[in-house]
Amino acid sequence: MIITKAGRRMFPAMRVKISGLDPHQQYYIAMDIVPVDNKRYRYVYHSSKWMVAGNADSPVPPRVYIHPDSPASGETWMRQVISFDKLKLTNNELDDQGHIILHSMHKYQPRVHVIRKDCGDDLSPIKPVPSGEGVKAFSFPETVFTTVTAYQNQQITRLKIDRNPFAKGFRDSGRNRMGLEALVESYAFWRPSLRTLTFEDIPGIPKQEYRDLKTYYIFPKLDNLLSRQIKL
């Protein structure tokens, strides 16, 4: 799962369907994300596996995402699929936007909390979820994820770009825009020597200036394209 300083939407988003609530009772629905263990991980490319790389970093400030429809009646919650698609993740420990703060290269487990309104007086985005009668927490093993600041696996990169509606800027739109994989691969692995990039078709430019012309015209364009796609 990608995390950024500015905050990145969690994708795929967590979505749940709830049953068994009192239709006339008011409830808050919230989510927090907790560490799976006390380890830090690294991705081993030659074996395509995550390996333990040491102890976890120090705990981050607790954050809770309170669903924006809260509070609502049990009847309202039960007749809809509850989506957490607006939840954002960040690695900025000084974040003041209410995003969930996580460390990169750690494993986490999302938890969904159903909180009866009379038990939610102490519910806050910057405090742990209250416990006790009237508060239920649910977690699902298949939702465990590892946080990264850049995808470590090209298949995951392709899958997320293809499925994420907010990643349209990374897909080929038919307007001379490269896919993310092709862009990264060309930038990371294609290293042409200066001898292969010449401007002999441009009259009046001495060979001594080829180096400067190449640097000015090619790499800034690539950097600008990367920046433009990341903003989208």
Per-residue pLDDT band for 156 (boundaries 50, 70, 90) equals confident
More confident residue, 57 or 154: 57
Q: In the predicted model, is pLDDT for residue 222 greater than 50?
A: no
- 148 close to 105: Cβ distance less than 8 angstroms: yes
Domain holding 27, by residue range, is 8-173
pLDDT digits (tens, 9 = 90+) for 81-134: 999 999 999 999 999 999 999 999 999 999 999 999 999 888 999 999 998 889
Most confident of 20-34, 37-51, 213-227: 20-34
Q: In the predicted model, is pLDDT for residue 186 greater than 80?
A: no
3-state secondary structure of 154: helix
Q: In the predicted model, is pLDDT for residue 210 greater than 50?
A: no
DSSP per residue over 159-228, as a string? Answer: HHHHH-GGGGGGS--SSS---HHHHHHHHHH----GGG---TTSTT--GGGHHHHHHHHTHHHHHHHHHH
Query: Does residue 107 belong to any structural domain of this protein?
Result: yes
Query: Does residue 220 belong to any structural domain of this protein?
Result: no
Residue 43: burial class (beta carbons within 10 Å; 0-12, 13-18, 19+): middle
If residue 130 lies in a helix (H) or strand (E), which one and from where to where?
none
* pTM (predicted TM-score): 0.69
If residue 135 lies in a helix (H) or strand (E), which one and from where to where?
strand 135-138
Q: Give the model's pLDDT for residue 223.
A: 41
Q: What is the CATH number of the domain that holds 38?
A: 2.60.40.820
Q: In the predicted model, is pLDDT for residue 192 greater than 60?
A: no
Query: Does residue 161 belong to any structural domain of this protein?
Result: yes
Q: Give the model's pLDDT for residue 21.
A: 96
Per-residue pLDDT band for 160 (boundaries 50, 70, 90) equals confident
- 170 close to 180: Cβ distance less than 8 angstroms: yes
**What is the count of structural domains for the chain?**
1
Peptide bond before residue 12 is cis, with ω within 30 degrees of 0: yes
Query: Does residue 209 belong to any structural domain of this protein?
Result: no
More confident residue, 114 or 212: 114
Query: Does residue 24 belong to any structural domain of this protein?
Result: yes
Q: In the predicted model, is pLDDT for residue 175 greater than 50?
A: no
Query: Does residue 188 belong to any structural domain of this protein?
Result: no
Q: Give the model's pLDDT for residue 107.
A: 97
